[in-house]
Structure 1
C-alpha cells in the first residue's frame, strides 16, 4: 500500500502524502489538533537513575506536558524541546528518575482550551543498583565482608567472588521485601589472596542485568578508605581476642579530638550518652548484633568532605589494641551519561559528574581510549563539592561506544561510565519521518508509525 520510489525523493513524498492523508481522513479522532497519546520510553539507564523521554507528536493549541509519579506528584524535568511546524507543536520532555516503591511514571499532556487530557504510563524495571561492599569485621580467622543490594525487582541472585571469578562460600542471604523491591545482604569471610580483591555480584537473568562492586582488603598496617560524598561507609575495628564488648567501652575519635562514637556497656551516643561532636550527630551507628564477637565497627551515613581525616578506635581495657583508618571523602561518583540531542551533524552526548572533591578532570573518550573533542566544561561549586557537565558531539564509529571518564589524581581515583549510541540515530531517515509527521499533524499516532515504516522501507529497499 505504501510505495517508496528509491531514486526520486519528490515522487516518494508525494505518494506518501496521498497515502497518509487517506488514512488520516478515517483515523482522526480529536480534530483541532488535540494531542495524541504521548510516546514514552527509556532513553538511558545507569546504576542509580533512569532517563525517561516523552514525545508529543503534533498538537494545537500548544499543550502543557509534565512527568508525574504514580501518586500524581509533578517530577522535575529538563527544559521542553519544542518545535512548531505547519501549525502544530511537537514537544519532547526528558526527566531523570530514581526507583520508587512502584517504579511507575506518567507523562501527562493537557490542552486546557480543548478540555483535553491524555497520558501514557511507563514502568521502569527495578534493575539492581550497584551493590555496596564493605568490611564488617577483622579477626585472626579472616575478614568479614558485607554486601548490600538496596532495592531490586525481580529478586537478584547475589554472590561473592574472588578476583578470578571463583564463587566464595557465604552465609545465608538476609532478604527483606518492601513494595515491589527486594533488599538483600550477604556476608562472607575471606582470607588473603594474591590480589586481596573481592567482588559482590548481583544478577537478574530476567533483565539480562549483571552488576558488581569490588572491594580491596588492605594488608597489615594503616588503612585508607576513599568514598564519594553522600555515601555509606563502614569503618572496621575488632578486638583480636574476639571477646564480647557488651559490657565494655570503646571510643571512636577523628583527628584525636572530635568524638565520633562512644559505646559504654550499653550506653552510646544514639540512646542518650552525651558528648558527640555535632558533625557526626545522627549519622553514626554501631553493629549491636556483632558486639558479642568483639566487633566495634561503625557506619557513617551521608558522608561529607568534612568527614575526611584520621580515625582511631581505642579500648580502655585493652590499651594495646587500637584501630587506625584514614578516610578520604569526595571521590567522584560514577558519571551519568545520556543523549541530549540528535542533529544532522551527529549525536550530542551529555556527561554529568554530580559532586566531587577535589575537582576531577572529566573527558570523553571513544572505545579505544582516544580523547574526543568536547565543549568547555560547565562547572558549579556547591559547598565543598564540584558539579561538572561535559558535552560532546559524536559520529558513527565501528562500535558506537563512548566513555565519560572522571579522574582525581590526588586520590588516585578514576571512574567512568560507558554509553552505546544506537545505530539508528545515525540514519538519515530521521528527518523524513519527522517531515511526514508534521505534514499530518493532528491524526492518531498510527499515522506517525506509518511514516516511520515508510522511512524504514526507503532505507532497506
Structure 2
C-alpha cells in the first residue's frame, strides 16, 4: 500500500468509526461545523469499484456526485447540481477496496440533509443513507428561562429601511419590515425584540426572553431584498434546569406523551398491569405505588410500530391501591406519568352514606356491602375525631361482610365514613355535610304555627266578648231612656200590658232585664 493510500485510510478510519457510533436506525449521522469539510462514508465491500457505478444524491432529488467506470462530475460528466459543483470529490485510490465515500468541502447550512449512496448495478441493488448535519459557526448556549441574544450583523450600513426575517426552520420568529413595522411568530409572541437604536449600524440581532427547551434549534437571519440575498445562521441551545417535570406543554420534539396503562389479567388475589410509552429518545419506564416506591417489574420490551419505538413494562400487584407508570427522559428533564386505581376482589367499594331524621334527632348512617376481609368502619368529623357509635350491625355472607354503622349528629360539620381493610392495604371513604339546626326545623316550625293558632283563637274570643258586652250595654241605655220618656198619664196597667209578667217576676224576687244587664257588665271576663 502506498503512503498516500495509507494516509487516506488513516484519515477515514476515525471518521467512519465516529459515524458508525452516531448511527440512528439505518442512517449514519455526520455532524460538521459550517465552512468545514465533511466526509460521507459509503463502503459496500472489499470488491473493486473502479469499473462499477455509484450515485450520490441529496434528499433523493439533487445530483451530488456520480461515478461510472471512471467517468464522474469532476472529469466532464454533466448533470451535477449547481449547489455542489467544484466542492465534491471521491477517493480514487480507495475504489479497489469498495470505498465509495465522498468529501464535501466548505460546507454550507444548505448542505444539511439526507444523502443516499446507491449501487444500481449491484446484485442485489444496495443503497446506503447518510444524514449530514451542518451546524452554524455561531452557537449561543443559555439556561432555561433566561434571555438569549442571537447576533446578526450585516454591515455598518443603516438597515432601518431594510426587511430582515428571522426564522427557526420554517417557523416565523420575527420580521422587520421596510416601514419599521415588526411582527412575531405565534410561539414567540411577546418574547422577541430587536435593537432599534442599533439598526443604523447594520445590527439585526434579536433577543428572546424567557427561553424554553422548545426554542433550541437553528435560526436563520435573512435579508431577502439584498442583491444577492444573504442569510446567516445561529444555533441556539437551551440547557435544561435539570428539574424533572411534565414538559408536554413546551412542544419539545420527541418528548414522551402520557403513557398508556391497561389491565392484562386478574384474579381475586392479583392483577397484571401493563404500561406502554414512546418518545425520542425512548424514555425509561417505572412502576410506582402510592408511596412513590419503585415496584419490581418485568424486563422492558421494545417494539417498532408505525416507524416509532415503543417500550412496554408489565408489573403484578397484589394489593388494592393507586399505582403509577412513570416515563422519564433525562435529556429533556421531562417526566410524565399515568395512574390507575386497583380494586382487588373483595375490597370495599365506596360506602353509602345517608342522613336519617328521627323523633330523637338526626342519625348519620354508613353502609358497606360485600367487603372481604372484614373492614373497620368509622365515622369521623372534619378534624378527624371518631364519632361515638350509636348502632352497629354486621352481617356475614360467606366470605364477605355487610356492615351498617350509625352515629348521632351533634353538630354541623363535614363528616366522613372511613372504611379500612389493613390486610389488603385498602382504605376508602365517603363524605357528607350535615346541619344540626336543619334536623329540628320541622319541630320548630310546628311549634311556632301552634302558638300562632292559639294566639289567634284567644284574640277572637276576647274580641267576641268585648263586642257582646258593648251590645248589651247599648240595649240597657236604650231601655233606661225609654223609661224616662214614658208619659205621666200612662197607667201601671198600660205598662203591664206592654211588659206582661214583669210585675210578677219582680214579686217573685227575679231581677228584671236591667238588673241582669248590670250584673253581666260588672262581672269579670
* TM-score, L = length of structure 2: 0.27
**The structure with more radius of gyration:** 2
Normalized per residue, the structure richer in helix is 2
Which of structures 1 and 2 has the larger relative contact order (alpha carbons within 8 angstroms, sep 6+)? 1
* TM-score, L = length of structure 1: 0.30
